[in-house]
A = this chain, B = another copy of it.
Amino acid sequence: MAVTIRDVAREARVSVASVSRALNGSPAVTDETRQRIASIAQRLRYVPHSAARSLITKRTQTIGALLPDLYGEFFSELIRGIDLAARAKGLHLLVSSSHGDADEAAAALRAMQGRVDGMLILSPHVDAAFLRANLPESTPAVLLNSAFDSPQFDVLNIDNYGGAYAMTRHLLDAGHASVTFVGGPEDNFDAQQRERGYREAMAEFAPKAVAKVVAGDFSEESGYLAGRALAKNARPLPAVFAANDMMAVGCLRAFAESRLRVPQDVALAGFDDIPIARYVVPALTTVRVRIVDLGRRALECVAAAIEKPGRARGAAQTLACEVVVRASSGGEAKPSKPV
């Protein structure tokens, strides 16, 4: 049915070995025969059978990506970065996303076994035991945004700490006497790091003020509730720094209901720079994370691990964030045109 290496060999009057060599760029073949074989292969539309090749080379040229139940921009951007880098390296991308719990993730991980040369794993469910149980020893893997730190695996994290630290500092520098933090879920790694960044910046740059954290869970609703509670406090209000943009949007709604003007009565900042952040009124000051870079770096990292199997594992990299100042923090007045 399909054209195989044999057909090309027959047509070119050489052995299959020569065809293989010619097409794979082995030096042990005359330029002239290489040309001839190449042109015949092209004419016949020969495409090497990837399964047969994988069988013998033990390489699939494929990277697996294991992702949790992820929504919106973050997911797209991450995949974009991974995909771009994979294409540049001639690798394919096998995706398995939308994993709600550890069991689903485990099943997905096992299902990928043997189909991929390496893995990119972003999941709140991973820990040492999970990986030992579900990931073959020999498969290189890069953990994304994971609290889990092991000499076995490379880890690539967002600098949540640094971003929150920088934002807190920015708010204090802008003249606010104090900053209140709206926290994320307690068991969330990102949330923990962001809170730590906030606390340390407060300790350093506002030693007289006291750090104050109100609870939240990253949802818009929890931000709304937090905002409503904060609006009752004594004036002047401290600046509010929400652990993510969705909660900041919730705060914004609560403040609007309480007839509080942002940023005149209360300054507000978020974290993530989701697209909505540019379009709420006033536009939200936030911390931007270059998700595309996260994906790209992750893929390059696992590709490197595949190429050099003996290489030391366990490198931990951190991806910098940047403060994006918009109208909501009062740092800059640009209410009309989105950035």
Binding site for B on A (CB under 8 A): 1-2, 47-52, 54-55, 60, 62, 70-73, 75-76, 79-80, 83-84, 87, 92-98, 108, 110-115, 136, 138, 220, 249, 253, 256-257, 275-276, 279-281, 336-338
In Å, the complex CA distance between A136 and B338 comes to 46
Known contacts A95-B93, A114-B47; decide if A338 and B80 are in contact (CB<8 Å): no
Nearest B residue to A338 via CB reads: B220
Q: Is the CB of A114 within 8 A of B51?
A: yes
List the 7 closest A-B pairs by CB distance, nearest first: A51-B54, A75-B76, A51-B51, A51-B55, A95-B95, A50-B114, A47-B113
For A337, the chain B residues whose CB sits under 8 A away are 253
Report which of B49, B93, B108, B111 forms a contact with A94, defined as CB distance below 8 A: B93
Complex-state Cα separation, A97 to B55, whole angstroms: 27
In angstroms, how far is the closest chain B Cβ from the Cβ of A194? 22
Closest to A59 in B: B51
- Bound state CA distance, A265 and B94, in angstroms? 51
Bound-state CA distance A49–B60 (Å) is 11
Question: Given the known A-B contacts A114-B49, A338-B220, are A84 and B98 also in contact in the complex, defined by CB atoms under 8 Å?
Answer: yes
Chain B residues with Cβ below 8 Å from A92 are 94, 96, 111-112, 115
